[in-house]
Amino acid sequence: METNRQNRISRLIQKDLGGILQMAGRDWFPGAMITVTKVYVTSDLSIAKAYLSIFGKDAGEILSQIEMKNKEIRKQLGFRVKNQLRQVPELRFFIDDSLDYIDNIEKLLKK
Which amino acid would we find at residue 30?
A: P
In order along its 111 residues, the chain shows pLDDT tens digits of 678 989 999 999 999 999 999 888 888 888 888 889 999 999 998 999 999 988 877 888 888 999 999 999 999 999 998 888 888 999 999 998 877 777 788 888 887
70-80 helix and 59-68 helix, angle to the nearest 10 degrees: 70
Domain coordinates in residue numbering, the chain: 4-110
Helices (H), 1-111: 4-28, 59-68, 70-80, 98-110
Query: What dotted CATH number matches 4-110?
Result: 3.30.300.20
Q: What is the pTM of this model?
A: 0.83
User: Which three-class secondary structure state does DSSP give residue 63?
Assistant: helix
